[in-house]
């Protein structure tokens, strides 16, 4: 994937920030933070930009002394100059905290992308809320003339999970064309997965009637890595040629998942991202 300044000038509407955080605000804490955190960032660009949307999910490790490393799976929605792209990017940087539970986090890819976040520590150090306050590619700012706001979350992995077994209720939100899916992901502990969901999307109809909705079921396989990240490949039961990919990271000892939809070489400008909890 090519690293472009505007492609990584992350922004997220207020509505998506609420969706990422599940509509809840946890109490502040001054707990020191260290260890492994699954993280999720979603974004959409201003209408004046040629780029569309970006989402990434992965694991970052905080060493307790101000150093941070991370690996992220990135989904870049198609724009006028490129098709949809999926890639994996190693990141490294620094972090600091204050007694009131706030802090800063900086992550970057060597020689290219650097993101700076304002951070609030919540839930006894298990939950981080992130807001991007700066972005650069090499020596240049990412900002340019485009409106850009970025937000995300991170949750402690607490050991992640060696495998997944059970049913997870999930929600995925899409950008820049708004749509939302809710449903159930089921894992059998042996590499097989099924998904059933209902999706509601937007319509060009300006009447007050309900937005169009659809339901579907898919089945397929999943794999996991030792760090708690993994991927899911699903096919529609009604149309085997329809394949959907998901990248995820397990958090909270395996009781939570952070998710993005993955696809490459398609004209789909949307990215989809969200979370799941064990039922």
Strand partners of residue 28: 122
Per-residue pLDDT at 138: 64
Please, what are the domains in the chain?
6-156 (2.40.128.120), 165-278 (2.40.128.120)
Collapsed DSSP state (helix, strand, coil) of residue 156: strand
pLDDT level of residue 90 (50, 70, 90 thresholds): very high
If 0-12 CB within 10 Å is exposed, 13-18 middle and 19+ buried, where does residue 235 land?
middle
Q: What is the pLDDT of residues 186-227, one digit of tens each?
A: 999 999 999 999 999 865 444 445 567 888 899 999 999 999
* CA 54 centroid distance within chain: 9
Of 80-84, 239-243, 274-278, give the lowest mean pLDDT range.
Answer: 239-243
**Cα separation, 128 vs 26, whole angstroms:** 10
The answer to whether 150 touches 249, Cβ cutoff 8 Å, is no
Averaged over 34-57, what is the pLDDT? 80
**pLDDT for residue 94 is more than 70:** yes
Q: What is the pLDDT of residues 115-172, one digit of tens each?
A: 899 999 999 999 999 998 887 766 656 655 445 567 899 999 998 788 899 999 999 9
Per-residue pLDDT at 11: 38
Q: Count the alpha carbons within 13 Å of 161 in the hemisphere toward its beta carbon.
A: 20
Q: Which of 175, 213, 170 is nearest to 193 (CA)?
A: 170
**Cα separation, 55 vs 34, whole angstroms:** 24
The answer to whether 29 touches 125, Cβ cutoff 8 Å, is yes
* CA 149 centroid distance within chain: 15
**Cα separation, 70 vs 72, whole angstroms:** 7
């Amino acid at each position: 994937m090519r690293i472009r300044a505007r492609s990584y000038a992350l922004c997220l509407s207020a509505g998506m920030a609420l969706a990422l955080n599940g509509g809840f605000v946890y109490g502040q804490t001054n707990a020191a933070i260290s260890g492994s955190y699954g993280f999720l960032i979603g974004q959409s660009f201003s209408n004046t930009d040629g780029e569309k949307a970006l989402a990434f999910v992965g694991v970052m490790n905080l060493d307790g002394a101000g150093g941070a490393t991370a690996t992220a799976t990135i989904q870049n929605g198609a724009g006028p100059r490129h098709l949809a792209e999926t890639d994996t990017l190693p990141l490294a940087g620094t972090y600091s905290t204050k007694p009131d539970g706030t802090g800063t986090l900086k992550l970057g890819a060597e020689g290219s992308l650097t993101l700076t976040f304002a951070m609030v520590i919540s839930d006894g150090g298990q939950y981080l809320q992130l807001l991007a306050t700066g972005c650069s590619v090499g020596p240049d700012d990412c900002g340019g003339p485009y409106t850009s706001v970025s937000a995300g979350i991170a949750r402690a992995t607490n050991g992640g999970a060696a495998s997944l077994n059970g049913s997870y209720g999930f929600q995925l939100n899409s950008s820049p064309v708004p749509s939302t899916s809710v449903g159930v992901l089921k894992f059998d502990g042996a590499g097989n997965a099924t998904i059933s969901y209902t999706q509601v999307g937007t319509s060009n109809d300006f009447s007050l009637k309900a937005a169009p909705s659809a339901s579907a079921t898919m089945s397929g396989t999943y794999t996991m890595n030792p760090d708690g990240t993994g991927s899911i490949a699903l096919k529609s039961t009604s149309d085997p040629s329809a394949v959907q990919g998901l990248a995820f990271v397990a958090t909270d000892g395996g009781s939570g998942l952070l998710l993005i939809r993955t696809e490459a070489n398609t004209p789909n400008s949307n990215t989809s991202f969200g979370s799941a909890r064990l039922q």
